[in-house]
Amino acid sequence: MKKTLMLITMLSALNVSQGFAENTKFITYDSAALEYNKDNLNNKAEALSTLIAKADKALKADIDPVTNKTLLPASGDPHDYFSFGPYWWPNPDTKDGLPYIRRDGEYNMATKTAATDKQRFIRFTKDVTNLGLAYYFTGKNDYASKAIDQLKAWFIDQETRMNPNLNHAQAIPGIVDGRGIGIIDSRLLIGVVDSVEILKAQLTSEQYTAINNWFKEFNTWLITSNNGFEEDNWHNNHGTWYDAQVVAFAIFTGDLDTAKKRLRVTQMRRIGTQFNMHGQQHAELERTKPWHYSNFNLQAYSLLGHYGDVVGIDVWNYEVDKHSLKKGYQYVAKYTIAPEEWDYKELKGFQASKAYTNMLYANKAYNDPIFSDAISELKKDKANQKNIQNLLFK
């Protein structure tokens, strides 16, 4: 913390102003909130300290591209992303363990090894997201340089780049070589495109164009592939996160017509079916971790609400037959204030803090004191005071 306060003082004294492209377009971030917080970092010192610690760790991380895996997908192409379904386990009733069987909510740690891509992909996306934000708030060129090296390895370098598809995501041994449900993995790319925009002035025009084209190809795959079709038709968090990805990548690549059409799908297909008149999400509440999944789904809606603001489609206030997104946030807010009243069985216990980011978004979107009350309650947890999300909201 002392190191962070010293950095804040130094930045203020030097009035550091690193160059950003004039046409920088923030996708997920609120530019006014970012600018305000950058000018008032003393008020966000704890969150900045968390961000710097993560960015400093990312500086030391090896570049670990998709081609480093030791197991190959069914295609045989090391450039194809490859992961296993996390809730699937060897079959105890067969000698070879095939076909795998599902145990909802129980994470098979064997799916997290470096033999496949999920963990390296998570590290890459989170590192680039944190490095981009750290560069924005500190102007430290080391953060930008490391993020760009990562971006080149994953999207540009022909020897290491990832193919723009998830044909082999969340495969299940003995059952399927890849599933539409695996598209949930690529939601983490949303933070990456925001960092690309922050770093735009530091990228060459060729590099920026190459990355932008990668996302155009990936979004085309999302919209036209069989896997994308399957994911689009899920009526739970998978469908919502599919929408969030398509919209984010469409905005990033300048395809606003696609973004608007997809947000209309969010309004008409998702909200009315996923939330009942009390704001409950039955598809999430029936899971073994209902609080986690209720908030996980709302995290996608938080992004979609913001994207609607960007392109002029009101997702926040959409209502059909008394089913509304606002009621979904209110339902969750109620239990952040009174967690002892949550009466659903939780596989791994109730963690109120999972609602924190959603409450920040809801507090900004709605004039309802329940959300500010929820934030006040959640901020009693020291971890929420240090949350990087505090840097994204005034």
User: Do 220 and 330 belong to one domain?
Assistant: no
pLDDT at 14 over 50: no
Q: Is the residue at 104 inside a domain?
A: no
pLDDT at 186 over 70: yes
pLDDT at 5 over 70: no
Nearest 5°: the CA angle 40, 43, 49 is: 100
Q: Is the residue at 174 inside a domain?
A: no
**Tokens 């022909």 appear where?**
158
Nearest 5°: the CA angle 222, 223, 228 is: 55
Structural tokens at position 245: 């990805």
Phi then psi dihedrals of residue 323, to 5 deg: -100, 125
pLDDT for position 113: 94
Give 106-165 pLDDT, tens digit per residue. 999 988 899 999 999 999 999 999 999 999 999 999 999 999 999 999 999 999 999 999
CA distance 167 to 225: 9
Mean pLDDT of the chain: 94
Q: Is the residue at 13 inside a domain?
A: yes
Last-in-domain residue among 218, 233, 248? 233
Contact predicate 31/198, CB 8 Å:
no
Q: Is the residue at 16 inside a domain?
A: yes
Give 239-278 pLDDT, tens digit per residue. 999 999 999 999 999 999 999 999 999 999 999 999 999 9
User: Do 225 and 245 belong to one domain?
Assistant: no
Of all residues in the chain, what percent carry a pLDDT higher than 90?
Answer: 91
pLDDT for position 269: 95
Q: How many domains does the chain have?
A: 2
Q: Give the CATH number of the domain where residue 359 resides.
A: 1.50.10.100
Last-in-domain residue among 216, 233, 250? 233
Q: Is the residue at 284 inside a domain?
A: yes
CA distance 101 to 208: 43
CA distance 142 to 202: 12
CA distance 70 to 351: 36
Please indicate whether residue 15 or residue 18 has the higher confidence score (pLDDT). Answer: 18
pLDDT at 393 over 90: yes
CA distance 250 to 255: 5
pLDDT at 7 over 90: no
CA distance 87 to 210: 35
pLDDT for position 25: 79
